[in-house]
Amino acid sequence: MSAFVENHLEWFRFSGRILGLALIHQYLLDAFFTRPFYKALLRLPCDLSDLEYLDEEFHQSLQWMKDNDITEILDLTFTVNEEVFGQVTERELKSGGANIQVTEKNKKEYIEKMVKWRVERGVVQQTEALVRGFYEVVDSRLVSVYDARELELVIAGTAEIDLIDWRNNTEYRGGYHDGHIVIRWFWAAVERFNNEQRLRLLQFVTGTSSVPYEGFAALRGSNGLRRFCIEKWGKITSLPRAHTCFNRLDLPPYSSYSMLHEKLLIAVEETSTFGLE
């Protein structure tokens, strides 16, 4: 549908530039991209394993074909059916593909071409425009040292929370310290959270649910590096509040663990609407 947007390829090129600028300035993107997307940025070919991130059922069917003898089981040619605006057409995966039967001997080539078709389906020009914009601001030598997984970590961070690293890279203000009873309750509560709740807490305080690939020591605020901070603030009747520009959580001196856990959980569950400044 993007083809109906005027100058749509220029918009993809612009998006690539934004992505490149985020990488250069070390700002994590709170977004999800598939592994094939990162391979496209690195100009690397995709293989069958990459399809698992894009289309699990399609991946499973091709994986079955790879792992099993298909002789006299499958009746396929080097073609694929494509639907465009409700019209189904047959497309050859290679020249003369409609007349080439898929056999046990040539199935490897068929799988490779099917992977390429599925990854590129309908987005070849858009992907090329985005990648072109990306390298207009990023020196290719800067990213050539990465594989797709490493580039994903650099651009989007990790979604797994290391509690020890988090706690070791947290600062305290207003009378709080690591041994303070309220802080001990705080970390006990976070330890009880599942990973999704921890990510929501991180997003509540920092504005992003991703952790830099270097760990919590590399958290950034509006003015560069800024560690996670917990400051003593407010009355016990108040909910925690956050200052996302400074990665700071204002935490009232609650009188019990249960009270802290309840108030913190409310803040976490209402991240999008509560307590942000």
Residue 265 in tokens: 């959980």
User: Can you give the pLDDT of all 277 residues of the chain as single tens digits?
Assistant: 455 677 889 999 999 999 999 999 888 787 778 888 999 999 999 999 888 878 888 999 999 999 999 998 999 999 999 887 778 889 999 999 999 999 999 999 999 999 999 998 888 999 999 999 999 999 999 899 988 878 887 888 777 789 999 999 999 999 999 999 999 999 999 999 988 788 889 988 988 777 887 889 999 886 778 999 999 999 999 999 998 889 999 999 999 999 999 999 998 887 543 344 4
Number of domains in the chain: 2
44 and 143 fall within a common domain:
yes
Domain end residue (candidates: 156, 184, 201): 156
Q: What element of type H or E holds 158?
A: none
Burial 123-134 (b: 16+ CB within 10 A, else e): eeebbbbbbebb
Do 227 and 158 meet the contact criterion of CB atoms below 8 Å apart? Answer: no
pTM: 0.60
Domain at 232, CATH number: 3.30.2410.10
Q: In this structure, is residue 277 part of a structural domain? A: no
Residue 271 exposure: Cα atoms within 13 Å on the Cβ side: 18
9 and 140 fall within a common domain:
yes
Do 23 and 145 meet the contact criterion of CB atoms below 8 Å apart? Answer: no
141 and 198 fall within a common domain:
no
DSSP 8-class letter at 232: E
Q: What is the CA radius of gyration of the chain?
A: 25
Domain end residue (candidates: 122, 156, 190): 156
150 and 171 fall within a common domain:
no
Clarify whether 245 is annotated catalytic.
yes
Helices marked H in 68-180: 107-120, 124-137, 140-143, 148-156, 163-168
Q: Which of 147, 245, 258, 277 is catalytic?
A: 245
